[in-house]
Amino acid sequence: MPDFTVFDKTTLITIASAAATFIAVLGIGLAVIKDKTRIQKKRQKTRGGKGWQNARQSLRHMPWKRLRFSSVKNLRNILIILFLLSIILVGKVLEPSPPKKSGKNVDSSIFCHSPYIIDGDTFDCVGTRIRLMGIDAPEMPDHCRPGRRCTEGDPFAAKKYLESLATGWVKCRAIEIDHYGRTIARCKVKDVDLSCAMIASGHAVRRYSSISCP
């Protein structure tokens, strides 16, 4: 099966939603035009005949205005429903496939746009806590547990730099689940590997697992 990117999937859903909306609008428009044409033909047939007065009276009581406003109201409701459905579909496409709790040989893709950055190596991606593979960034104040060898440096600068990298669509390949329940993953924004970029900038060091960077 081809590996579609988030942009491709979102584009397909947008096109499908636009097509559905166009079809709905076209169908309602044709129905209204058909009803109006039927009324006009009936009026033309009865004009000048003996039954003109009766036809005129019947036309006065036909719910044309109610039909017109009802059609507009129905169109609005249909558009709202289609819009909500498109949001649900986009959410389903962007919803990650969580890795299994086995922790090994997990291979699932997780997508999100501008994730919430926790520190220089961790962020939240649509409900999944992501830990960038193979690196360790300085811990935020009071986050370094006693007895742990924490990476030295400015945690706020590391966090800010990761935020600057992850401003677009982030695609992560889940590797495993660590003992904290976080998803260890290799993540990219376009062609930029976030782990490698953090190491190259000096805001993180290599640790815990081996990764290859260009």
Question: What is the tens place of the pLDDT at every residue in 157-213?
Answer: 999 999 999 999 999 999 999 988 999 999 999 999 999 999 999 999 999 888 989
Distance of CA 135 to the CA centre of its chain: 28
pTM, whole model, 2 decimals? 0.52
Distances (CA, A) of 46 to 50, 58, 59, 63, 64: 8, 11, 11, 19, 18
Give the pLDDT band (50/70/90) at residue 1.
Answer: very low
| pLDDT score, position 104 | 44
Tell me the β-bridge partners of 122.
119, 131
Tokens of 200: 């190259």
pLDDT higher than threshold 50 for residue 119: yes
Distances (CA, A) of 28 to 14, 77, 142: 21, 12, 62
Q: Regarding the domain delimited by 108-206, which CATH topology (the fold level of the hierarchy) does it fall under?
A: OB fold (Dihydrolipoamide Acetyltransferase, E2P) (2.40.50)
| pLDDT score, position 5 | 40
**What are the respective helix, strand and coil percentages of the chain, to the nearest 5?**
45, 20, 35
Contact assessment for residue 81 and residue 20, using Cβ atoms and an 8 Å cutoff: no
